Amino acid sequence: MDITPAIAARTGRRDVLAAGIRAARQRTLGLLDTYVAKLGEELRVPYSAQLNPPLWEVGHVAWFYDVWLARSRQRRLGLACDPDHERPVGRLANADALYNSSLVKHTIRWSLPLPDLAATRAYLADSLAETLALLAGEPETPEALYFYRLSLFHEDMHAEAATYMAQALDIPLPAPLRPAERALPAATDLALPATIWRLGYDQPGFAFDNELLPHDVKLDAFAIDSTAVSWRRFLPAMEAGAVNIPRYLRQRGGAWQALRYGSWEALNLDVAALHLTWDEAQAWCAWAGRRLPSEAEWEYAAMTAPGFDWGDAWEWTASRFAPFDGFVAHPYRDYSRFGFEEHRYVLKGAGRATAPRMAHPRYRNFFTVERNDIHTGFRSCAL
């Protein structure tokens, strides 16, 4: 997968960031329009532990820009910013009580007195306009641009979440917003020699706190799939009873079908198997006599092995999500904290709904083992 967009987003100048922010907002608004068309302006959906209320989700995106940029007196300090410094109230007086995800528990978000759709759209528009105006006047330094990068990536993450939430809610997505399927190349085993691998982000530019500090990991020689496991490889384990039928899959008239954004479609056997839990990936590996790669093995292969194909799934690894030695939380302290505190595993790669600027082999995604609403899949290693 081409990581040029990711490098540009992590190192680019003001014009790169401005273009990225505009594009991210266009995607956010497109998804919002699609939700409104299906659900109506109140955007009510049943409670789910895996979802956020859609109206809260988009308001939270605007709030995030405001709290780290428009309302921050230390936005040019980058990592030296004190996250607890006193901020002005801003454009929405009670915004922190509504949208601060560090303080507003998930269960509470469903009963909050949120602004209506029109007010939320205005909040998004005003926040975007001020963000771009502030950005135009910032120095071209890593410190001054840090929170613009963070806010852009944050919006990209929520757009991806809104995409897999549409799948969970049977909301049809128009072609520009619907992730495209891709037939995978034929899978082979890629043999990699033993090495000392530098795990973690070690280049100039923006890094998420959990990517730091880079450190050496000793790896034995191993062989790893060149692609994510496809349905063609996964289905025999299901038919043998070794793995349960995953979410969004069914069999009708002897043929397998996949539920995609409200419609049951013929299953393309040659695309990456998706919406799989960590346990389902482990069960397939046990049936096939293989194993999940470690985070370091995946990263080493992705960055050095010709023929390593990725970008169709967030791929489960065998590595628990934990801080690297020397970890220091960045000003957005809760980005990694909850992941460290819960039983989560590292996922590497990128899913079909991941913005290309997010897709970097050093990036560490992390979810609990039961999550199957996301575009999660896996690849395997020879025992």
What's the pLDDT score for residue 359? 98
How many whole angstroms separate alpha carbon 122 and alpha carbon 375?
A: 31
- Print pLDDT tens along the chain (383 aa): 999 999 999 999 999 999 999 999 999 999 999 999 999 999 999 999 999 999 999 999 999 999 999 999 999 999 999 999 999 999 998 999 999 999 999 999 999 999 999 999 999 999 999 999 999 999 999 999 999 999 999 999 999 999 999 999 999 999 999 999 999 999 999 999 999 999 999 999 999 999 999 999 999 999 999 999 999 999 999 999 999 999 999 999 999 999 999 999 999 999 999 999 999 999 999 999 999 999 999 999 999 999 999 999 999 999 999 999 999 999 999 999 888 988 899 999 999 999 999 999 999 999 999 999 999 999 999 99
Phi/psi of residue 290, nearest 5 degrees: -135, -170
What's the pLDDT score for residue 94? 92
What's the pLDDT score for residue 339? 83
What's the pLDDT score for residue 375? 96
CB atoms under 10 Å from CB of 85, counted, come to 11
What's the pLDDT score for residue 343? 86
All domains in the chain, ordered by first residue? 4-176 (1.20.120), 189-382 (3.90.1580.10)
What's the pLDDT score for residue 99? 97
